[in-house]
Amino acid sequence: MLVAGEDPISARRVARAAGATFGEAADAYIASHRSGWKNDAQADQWTQSLRDYGPNRTIPITEVDTRVVMACLRPIWEAKTVTATRVRGRIERVLDWAKVHGMREGENPARWRGHLENLLPKPSKVSKTQHHAAMPYGQTPAFMKILAQRDARSRRALRFTILTAARTEEVTGADWSEFDLKGKLWTIPAGRMKGGRQHVVPLTQAALNILDPLPRNEPPFSLSENAMLYLLQKTPPKGLGLPFTVHGFRSSFRDWAAETTDFPHEVVEMALAHAIRNKAEAAYRRGHLIEKRALLMNAWAQHLLGETS
């Protein structure tokens, strides 16, 4: 091959890449990293986002260039900035993986620094901070009844999320090893928490009633990151057609606690796993205040189930 003026290494890489598509490379990347991720839901998020917004899965991996990447990102860069930045990063990682495996050569067309930053505005410039739309707490009891009308996975997960005032990823990534059903506690490890600190959630009987009948051979709420949001916002019959977000129910919980109860502010903040900057309040971090928080969560459950006026 050298005598013929060909590069053996390049020829080998071309041979390896023959027939390799972006979809195949993405699937292989996800499969090779799945064991190192927090949960299967993270792999589902990768798969779904790349299918929805990434390059055509049938395009040869060698043909994914700046033009292809920009065609993916430009339509969503301003309207869905957070999603777009995640997709860009995921495309970049898949292409890096493909290069290491000899499937492509050259610079990565999805890299930000020194490349796409010259073609797209900074995410911070186009993404305006938006508050998560929250359902008024007075409407939550009726809403919980609507959710309970059908026994579907996303509905169960959303009911559990609201009852525990948890974040979406904390619920969708939950594993049975985190639950002490007899002790009525859910211990979320630090690695799965936004603040990097272990969080213990007292479980009410209503929350336990959702967990009890679920099979133990699979995670209790293994869903994609947007499944509950789709349930809320998609137009009927696929969804409920409401203008609220899943995260907004944490605000509903906080407003309810502040306006209708006498529970101390620091107890409510601890229930939400918020960082407490005030030194006096931070002293409460020395303990989990489980008993006080159990009373708070039981009162919240009673409100949601319509058991209090």
pLDDT-derived band at 245, boundaries 50, 70, 90: very high
For domain 137-304, which architecture applies?
Orthogonal Bundle (1.10)
> 187 with 180: CB under 8 angstroms?
yes
Backbone phi, psi, residue 67, to 5°: -60, -45
pTM metric for this prediction: 0.64
The domain limits of the chain are: 8-126, 137-304
Q: Considering only CA atoms, which of 87, 95, 100 is closest in space to residue 46? A: 87
**Reduced 3-state DSSP string for the chain:** CCCCCCCHHHHHHHHHHCCCEHHHHHHHHHHHHHHHCCCHHHHHHHHHHHHHHCCCCCCEHHHCCHHHHHHHHCCCCCCCHHHHHHHHHHHHHHHHHHHHCCCCCCCCCCCCCCCHHHCCCCHHHHCCCCCCCCCCHHHHHHHHHHHCCCCCHHHHHHHHHHHHCCCHHHHHCCCHHHEECCCCEEEECHHHCCCCCCEEEECCHHHHHHHCCCCCCCCCCCCCCCHHHHHHHCCCCCCCCCCCCCCHHHHHHHHHHHHHCCCCHHHHHHHCCCCCCCHHHHHHHHCCCHHHHHHHHHHHHHHHCCCCC
The pLDDT mean for the chain works out to: 88
pLDDT tens digits, 49-95: 999 999 999 999 999 999 999 999 999 998 888 889 999 999 999 99
Dist. CA 11–CA 1, nearest whole Å: 9
Length of the chain in terms of residues written: 309
Is the domain covering 8-126 a CATH 1.10.150.130 domain? Answer: yes
Q: Which residues have a Cβ under 8 Å from the Cβ of 79 and sit 6 or more positions away? A: none
What does the pLDDT average to over 15-37?
82
pLDDT-derived band at 282, boundaries 50, 70, 90: low
Strand order across the 185-188 sheet: 179-180, 185-188, 199-202
What does the pLDDT average to over 296-304?
97
Q: Considering only CA atoms, which of 46, 35, 29, 36 is closest in space to residue 97? A: 29
Could you give the angle at the alpha carbon of 244 between the alpha carbons of 301 and 303, nearest 5°? Answer: 15
| Fold match flag (8-126 vs 137-304) | no
What does the pLDDT average to over 105-121?
94
pLDDT-derived band at 106, boundaries 50, 70, 90: very high
**Model confidence at 285: pLDDT above 60:** no
